[in-house]
Chain A
Amino acid sequence: MRIDDLEQMESEDVNTLPSVERRALLKFGLAVTGMYLGGSILSLATVRNAHGSTIVPEVGKYPYSPHYSMVIREKRCIDCELCKEACAKTNHVPKYGFRTTILEKRRALEGNKFETTFMPVLCNHCNNPPCVRVCPTTATWKDKKTGIVGIFKPSFCIGCKTCVTACPYNARYFNEERRVIDKCDFCFESRLSKGGTITACAEACPADVRVFGNLADPASRVFKLVHTPETIVWVLRPETGAIPNVFYINA
């Protein structure tokens, strides 16, 4: 093509674009942006339904009766592990497994010192238990009356360990001898179903760290502890949405 011919051709730069076409492009762009923007605004609006801040159920809104729960008075724990011993003895827990255990936290203080905190952990008997949701055989179940999460149908357990992976609290282990997943059931099988009122671990604790009881009963100690004014109550891993029933306080 010769330079003379080129000069005769119509320009294709943006100055010569008709305004209709420009408007169409702008509209398209706005539509795309608006869709994403609208999406984020929508999801911001739905957060209202998440109830992320309420760790302790409101008074009178306990889903179970009795609503078994445990309050851990964390800073009193001295890791004597009498709870672990009592649990293992009561529920025949083998050496390699655990239904409850004590974790250790270390916080640095000034001058090369540190502060140790022992943290008892066990199954949180969640209101929305991820382990129950994933069980393919319904071997593990949340009891509709007491809210206890347990392997209520051990013969159904195929040992797939999906629940072990799903549990946010590492509260399950595979019992090699019984070929069944085992976990804390608040001593339901060994004590509560036989008329007992307290778990073996809570009974064995010399420092009054573990308080077990019915959260739905306003006269119970667990109820009083988590509903005391100016008490900070926390749960482990609240972000999972499992709604745990083991509460931690420092009072």
Chain B
Amino acid sequence: MKKILMVLVLGGCLLSGSLLIAGADKKEAAQAYDEDTYGPEAPIVWVKPVKSVVFEHKIHTMDAGLACDSCHDDLFEMESGAAEEKDDFTMATLYKGGYCGSCHDGSTSFASNTRCASCHIGVRGHDRLNNKGGTATKSH
């Protein structure tokens, strides 16, 4: 009798556990990233004029609530990599309110001449993105 009770209690615990996990999965699924609404999920990495700057649509659209037309097509063309082909894609332009500097001006969001390494991931960050999970290939 005792054994049967034990099995029942254990079974109950396991069942509720699995239900909880399933519930969590469902919750996550509800918050899934929708590329059609929020833009490409993969980070945009610019390597010109310097290596490397990262931009994530998720942070700006899904998290910050910006709409696509906040930046496209006035500040940035839809085509990826179009901006970095232009000669004026520099910090100097950003300080004058161009490209990212349109919002990163110190009032809407942090100014472009502060918190450099928030966007500049450098050569190290670039390498890390390129071999996800693997350790950086650089020895130093």
Contact for A81 among B51, B115, B117, CB less than 8 A: B51
What sequence of 0s and 1s flags, for each residue 78-121 of chain A, a beta carbon within 8 Å of any chain B beta carbon? 11111000000000000010100110100000000001111000
Name the distance in Å between B23's Cβ and chain A's nearest Cβ: 22
Q: How far is the CA of A15 from the CA of B66 in the complex (A)?
A: 91
Chain B: minimal CB distance from A250 (Å): 11
A116, B140: Cβ atoms under 8 Å? no
A82's partner among B50, B116, B117 (CB-CB below 8 A) is B50
User: With an 8 A cutoff between CB atoms, is A77 at the interface?
Assistant: yes
Number of A-B contacts (CB under 8 A): 50
Most-contacted residue by chain B among A79, A82, A115, A118 (CB, 10 A): A79
A192 to chain B: which residues have CB within 8 Å?
none
**Chain A CB within 8 A of B68 CB:** no
A residues 174-214 touching B (CB-CB < 8 Å): 206-207
Please, which residues of chain B bring their CB within 8 A of the CB of A133? none
Report how far A182 CA is from B139 CA in the complex, Å. 17
Decide yes or no whether B83 CB sits under 8 A from chain A. Answer: no
- Which residue from chain B places its CB closest to the CB of A115 in the assembled complex? B117
Q: In the assembled complex, which residues on chain A have CB atoms less than 8 Å from the CB atom of B140?
A: 98, 101
Instruction: Kindly state the separation between the CA atoms of A96 and B125 in the bound complex, as whole angstroms.
Output: 20
For the complex, is B124 an interface residue (Cβ under 8 Å from A)? yes
Give the size category of B's interface with A: 10 to 19
Contact A80/B51 with A117-B117, A207-B116 known, Cβ cut-off 8 Å: yes
* Set A76, A79, A116: member contacting B123, Cβ < 8 A: A79
Q: Is the CB of A104 within 8 A of B124?
A: yes
- Known pairs A98-B140, A115-B117; A78 contacts B124 (CB<8 A): no
- Assess whether A80 is in contact with B122, with CB atoms less than 8 Å apart: yes
Please report the C-alpha to C-alpha distance between residue A79 and residue B50 in the assembled complex, in whole angstroms.
9
From A79, A115, A207, B124 is in contact (CB under 8 Å) with A79
Q: Which residues of B contact A82 (CB under 8 A)?
A: 50
User: Which B residues are CB-close (under 8 A) to A80?
Assistant: 50-52, 120, 122-123
Supply 10 A–B pairs (Cβ within 8 Å), ascending by A.
A75-B117, A77-B117, A79-B51, A79-B122, A80-B50, A101-B140, A102-B122, A102-B123, A115-B117, A118-B117
